A and B are shown apart, each in its own frame.
Chain A
Amino acid sequence: MTVTTHPPKRATTAASGDNRYKILEATMRRQQHQPDALIEVLHKTQELFGFLSPDLLTYIARSLHLPLSRVYGVATFYHFFSLAPPGEHTCTVCLGTACYVKGAAALLAEAEQIAGVKAGNTTPDHQLTIATARCLGACGIAPAVVFDGNVVGRLTRDEIVARVCALLEKLPEIRVKLE
């Protein structure tokens, strides 16, 4: 992912009346705009906006008086942060050792097959992101898959097929709450 050199949009974004900026601003104020609050602030931003756009990173860099390179560096170092918009739903297949030996690779292949995209990508209609993880700390119920923030264990191939299909067709009963 490359950061395009958008002109800074602080004036437009912050004053745009978008409530999310007000919340973000309040978070940074609570941290007294300390540079060491960067990770907290990035968490909050991703929670509010779903991902970290170049504009948001620039805005945060200015507010915390940090070089953009530092903000970009931290945002890309940690796997939790996403610089691309995620799909409406996510399906994260754990490929950690315990899940792997219980057939997680086959689960992932099924999910990729149905979604038509490889892990790390989002369907063109922005419905579903397929992702992978390395041990979710749920090895006791391996193989584990996270659907929209909810960990589901002991998943079979049929079950993942059913769930991914359901997510793609937006069946309401499968729309579990976001973490």
Chain B
Amino acid sequence: MIEHIVMRDQDVPNIADFGVYMRHGGYEALRRAFTAMTPAEVVALVKDAGLRGRGGAGFPTGVKWGFLPQGVFPRYLLCNCDESEPGTFNNHQIIDRNPHQLIEGVAISAYAIECHTAYIYARGEFATAARTLEHAVQQAYAAGFLGKNILGTGYDLDIHVHRGAGAYICGEETALMESLEGKIGQPRLKPPFPAVAGLYGKPTIINNVETLANVPRILEKGVEWYRSFGTEKSPGTKVFSLSGHVNRPGNYEIPFGLPLHDLIYSPEYGGGMKNDRPVKIVIPGGASAPWLTGEQLDVTLDYEALAKAGTMLGSGAVIVLNDTVSAPHLAYKMDEFFKHESCGKCTPCREGTYFLTKVLHRMTEEALARPEDIGTLKDVYTQMAGNCFCLLGESAVMPIKSALRLFPHEFDELIARGKPKTGLISIDLQPMKRDMSPV
């Protein structure tokens, strides 16, 4: 039985309740940080623990905190709970299950970077999560863990919960800041980086929900304990969101370094593939991650190993697909997501995603693939790669590039036969027979 960090006390009923959380050591870490540690000591501890950002890039959190320019105030801390990466569903479960742990983490982190206002940006669709958080924040105020002169230390902190309104791009750090300022969520040019000029032009630190939820336990149990999980360069645990054709989809917190094969097949986790079909494609880090194939299940789940395998850990969303899935079709559906979510600020992404999906739609759904289509696709994605204003556009290249690299014969088949081979068991492409004329 593996000890849990982020999913701590997961067997305790009603741990979301303030009183229950308090009885299980809740806000002890906060008390210790505020009363017995200096902000610099907290930063050093998090740095030593080797905590890395769980939002996608895996950047060391303590190092990021150290980028704030000395003596410039006010500062802001933003907690990124936009969670819109396809396949990712751990952040809101962390909140639903144990909101106080996150609030404690936000408060300690705010103290560490010496800021007095923190925002939690919750995805627009997560009305329930936002309400849960608001309620928990109020309880924390009432108990004196937030507000003015917390625990008599003279330190003030306010936490605000802000709801987004449905835009994947608002997970990007600078777009999130624009959105918090009440504007349309289009990314800003970097530099200046948020640590220098972020929200309202002030120094700002932005971290993912899971990143911040790790902080209380690190303070409580120390660096050595934390580093006893995971690998040397990827310490700790990660909550993986497992979905697709596995028997037991769900969130599983496991130490970094577990082989992908075990996540899929271990009875504790994925419990094997549905109907014992073989694994064809694994997308290991959300839609933005390059694909792996069924032959690469030996790769371990940590930042370094996945990078070496040519992909990334990203948000920890592991989507496992079996041999009934057509690669061109999957690429089409994923690029359609990026097209839909492109904010329209820059041309390579706005037009590129449009052309990619247009060609892919013709090849797959319309069954009108032409030999020159492959050249067109490559042409478009090469012009996008490296030329987009933010990472959304760069990510949109991944699905089609992976599909063409790993399964070129499927594209050839489309061209040769028109229709993808055998009706794609899980993706129903049969046109509906009944009349569907739109009204």
Interface residues of A (CB under 8 A from B): 34-40, 42-43, 70, 73-74, 77-81, 95-98, 100-103, 105-106, 109, 112-113, 116-118, 121, 123-124, 133-142, 149, 179
Contact = CB atoms under 8 A, between A and B. Distances in A.
A42 B164 CA distance: 11
A134 B86 contact: yes
Contacts of B334: 97
B182 A121 contact: no
Contacts of A106: 428
Nearest to A116: B439
A169 to B, nearest CB: 18
Nearest to A79: B166
Contacts of B83: 137
B182 A79 contact: no
Contacts of A137: 83-84, 88-89, 91-92, 123, 125-126
Contacts, number: 147
A43 to B, nearest CB: 6
Interface string B243-282: 1110001110000000000000000000000000000000
From A78, A100, A106, A135, name the one whose CB has the most chain B CB atoms within 10 angstroms: A135
Nearest to B365: A105
B315 to A, nearest CB: 11
Interface in B322-344: 325, 330, 333-334, 337, 340-341, 343
Contacts of A141: 249
A138 B243 CA distance: 9
A113 B163 contact: no
B241 A139 contact: yes
Interface of B: 83-89, 91-92, 123-128, 162-168, 179-185, 241-245, 249-251, 283, 287, 317, 319, 321, 325, 330, 333-334, 337, 340-341, 343, 426-429, 432, 434, 436, 438-439
Given A97-B283, A101-B426, A140 B249 contact: yes
A39 B217 CA distance: 34
A14 to B, nearest CB: 22
B87 A96 contact: yes
Contacts of B337: 96-97, 134-135
B165 A80 contact: yes
Nearest to A46: B165
A135 to B, nearest CB: 4
Contacts of B341: 134
A37 B241 contact: no
A139 B166 contact: no
B124 to A, nearest CB: 4
B241 A42 contact: no
A136 B330 CA distance: 18
A71 B66 CA distance: 37
Given A78-B166, A140-B89, A140-B243, A112 B124 contact: no
A158 to B, nearest CB: 14
Contacts of A95: 333
12 contacts: A37-B182, A40-B162, A97-B283, A97-B319, A103-B426, A124-B439, A133-B125, A134-B340, A135-B84, A135-B85, A135-B86, A139-B87
A73 B186 CA distance: 12
A36 B181 contact: yes
Contacts of A149: 127
Given A36-B181, A139-B89, A42 B249 contact: no
A113 B436 contact: yes
A113 to B, nearest CB: 6
A179 B257 CA distance: 40
Nearest to B343: A77
Contact of B182 (A38, A123, A138): A38
B286 to A, nearest CB: 9
Contacts of B287: 97
A10 B306 CA distance: 58
A139 B249 contact: yes
A139 to B, nearest CB: 4
A121 B439 contact: yes
Contacts of B426: 101-103
Contacts of B436: 109, 112-113, 118
A74 B439 contact: no
A58 B429 CA distance: 44
